[in-house]
Structure 1
Amino acid sequence: MEALYLKDCYVREFEATVLSVTDDKFVVLDRTAFYPKSGGQPYDTGVLISDGKEYKVVFVGKFDGQISHEVSEPGLKEGDKVKGIIDWDRRTLFMNYHTASHILSAIIHNETGAKISGNQIAEEKTRVDFNLENFDREQIGSYEAKVNEVIDRKIDVKIDILPREEALTIPSVVKLKDAFPPEIEEIRVIRIPEIDDQACGGTHVKNTGEIPHIEIFKAENKGKNNRRIYFRFA
């Protein structure tokens, strides 16, 4: 299966062939632009169209290495040709949030040395978790201002798919606690020049100037050495 979003996050329509259908609703395609729920980013929604009939895509997940599209009604079968259309408003919102979370994570890491231990993107807000013993709430306002300054600089965001050995020579690539398993031979790196190089499989904007300004509205302790910041678009 070809995941089109890995190289181009702006593919919003595509054509594909149905490889399999399970229980009349779980559809696997030979290629897709739909993002599956993964890495703290929600799944895409949209439609699959075949022979003039629309099938709403209500969930997308990745199981046993295959991206599965859950459709709202039966009818699709193996071999069918389909046109996929992404719900672009939903996708754009999550791209904005995801790139903004990379910028915020990089600023926190650069200023405190904290490792990012998780994130969760949602429609109304996004959170970033990081490993830090002391939580200086007075710094929070400075983080917000610095993220918005990066947004205003309108920096191009690059996608590089690198051999594992090359990617792991970039000091800032792996800030998440869990290392990549040995079977992963290539690593996708999202690069915001002078700000962040981070391994990531999610969808991102092409330029930071596309992102609305953020507002950090909540910060909390989540146990020993675990801190959490929530932000939304202002």
Structure 2
Amino acid sequence: MNIKQYLDSTYLKTAAQAGLSVDENILVTKGFIQEAIEERFKLIMIRPDMVCLAKKMITEANSTLQIGTVIDFPQGESSLEEKLAEAIQAIQDGADDLDFVCNYEAFKNGNVDLVKEEILTCTQLGLANKKVVKWIIEIAALNDKQIIQLSSLIKNVIVSNFEQELFPKVFVKSSTGFYKTENNLPNGATIPAITMMLENASPLPVKAAGGVRTYEEAVAMVQLGVKRIGTSGAKMIANGQKSNNEY
């Protein structure tokens, strides 16, 4: 299997999170972008302030690499207006994919209308600008019932408001990779959670993010039905090695 077509090579740490200076973190990001260009991955997933850098490098390399970025990352608790403003800036900077963090805490607290509104409005913005939209539900913060309910909610909003040919452009995505779990529990994709997402998000595609560290695990996710995999160890996975990266 050509696993590269499924891999979104990912680097989302701030300088502080990486324990680096700002300049050092820019160099690390450049390394990830360059690697993604050379390895012909589908997409590089980076923070919004790095999108212009990626666009410049990809243009200079005459590469077809696409750029993804995260919106309202990693908590997802900003207002709708703030989410939209960040997304508009990312579109102007050249992003191809917009990975929004769903306000999963609002959902858990029963504020379903708020979540529906942000899903509808932000998806409208992305699709109107011919972007791929992904909704991160943060499975490590949810129980099984909530994973099922939130996946279904996103599916229902999209199916009710958009044409069928647009469904493949709206993903339900598992994780940010930054959620702090107790007792060292997984904070990324797991087979049981991804299975629930696939069953309840369909016909929308699913992205498994975080926790996939080997070629075999990546293939297993694809065989389940996952269309994209987010990992900071994309090259190692593609080469059949085990990634020791956190995400």
Report the TM-score, using the length of structure 1 for normalisation.
0.29
> Which structure's residues are more often strand, by fraction?
1
> Which structure's residues are more often helix, by fraction?
2
Q: Which has the larger radius of gyration?
A: 1
Report the TM-score, using the length of structure 2 for normalisation.
0.28
